[in-house]
Amino acid sequence: MLEIVSFTLGPAQTNAYLVADSETKEAVVIDPSWDGQLILEAAQKRGWRIGHLWYTHAHFDHIGGAGAIADALNPLPLVALHPNDHVLWRAGGGGSLFGFDIDPGPEPTIDFVHGMKLRLGSMEFEVRFTPGHTTGHCILYVASAHVCFCGDLIFAGSVGRTDLPGGNWDALVKSIKEQIYTLPDNTRLLSGHGLETTVHEEKLNNPFVSS
Ligand SMILES: [Zn+2]
Ligand SMILES: [Zn+2]
């Protein structure tokens, strides 16, 4: 069974998701936003092994906890990110713009590709390429669990900003319409900031992108 532990951490109140197959105890962290030791403790308490870190995109507030998690793990977790965001990752996630200097942790070695399937125990995650907030932004969809980890693409009643380097409004709208609004209505959307929502709710009420 897919188990999800959510955290809201750091200077931008960014959601991190510790996700595990409760049978095999294999775990990943989707966007280890900040305070990695807290995420690590939550995994250890449950007997889960964090093998991977998956990044929706490389902004500093989504990866700021990676260094602390990796420092405590042997072997090191494997990091996955879309190659279009590697430049941003190397630039510390753009943190210097906001006065933050993060420990970025291990170098990404798995390149996200649209349509790629990732396994966690018996669960399958589908990578969907969703540029707009950054040029390499991706979301992770688990059809069997009716859940989508959507980073800073869409939020409850809002959407990701496009005024930072690499942002593109038209691309963001296209990504939402083609990759979010095409998912089943009952799909839970777990975003990078704010509360959980659903595809149905956003198609009806999102004031920025109508369906
Ligand atoms: Zn972001
Ligand atoms: Zn963010």
Give the integer Cα–Cα distance in Å for 57 and 32.
11
- 34 backbone dihedrals φ, ψ, rounded to 5°: -165, 170
Q: How far is the CA of 107 from the centre of ligand 2 (A)?
A: 20
- How many residues in the chain? 211
* Residue 10, pLDDT above cutoff 90: yes
The residues whose Cβ lies within 5 A of ligand 2, an ion, are 152, 192
Q: How far is the CA of 133 from the centre of ligand 1 (A)?
A: 7
Q: How far is the CA of 152 from the centre of ligand 2 (A)?
A: 5
What mean pLDDT is reported for the chain? 97
Q: What is the mean pLDDT of residues 17-30?
A: 98
The answer to whether 154 and 117 are in contact (CB under 8 A) is: no
Q: How far is the CA of 168 from the centre of ligand 1 (A)?
A: 13
Share of the chain above pLDDT 90, in %: 99
Q: Give residue 205's pLDDT.
A: 97
Q: Give residue 164's pLDDT.
A: 94
Token look-up 């979301």 returns 139
* Residue 211, pLDDT above cutoff 90: no
- Reported as a pLDDT band with limits 50, 70 and 90, residue 43 is very high
Q: What is the mean pLDDT of residues 102-116?
A: 97
Q: What is the mean pLDDT of residues 90-118?
A: 96
The CB-based long-range contact list for 7-11 (8 Å cut-off, 24+ gap) reads 7/33, 7/35, 7/38, 7/39, 7/42, 9/33, 9/34, 9/35, 9/38, 9/65, 10/34, 10/35, 10/61, 10/64, 10/65, 11/61, 11/98, 11/100
Q: What is the mean pLDDT of residues 70-97?
A: 97
Give the integer Cα–Cα distance in Å for 114 and 136.
10
Q: How far is the CA of 26 from the centre of ligand 2 (A)?
A: 26
> Which ligand is nearest to the Cα of residue 93, counting in written order?
1
Q: What is the mean pLDDT of residues 57-76?
A: 97
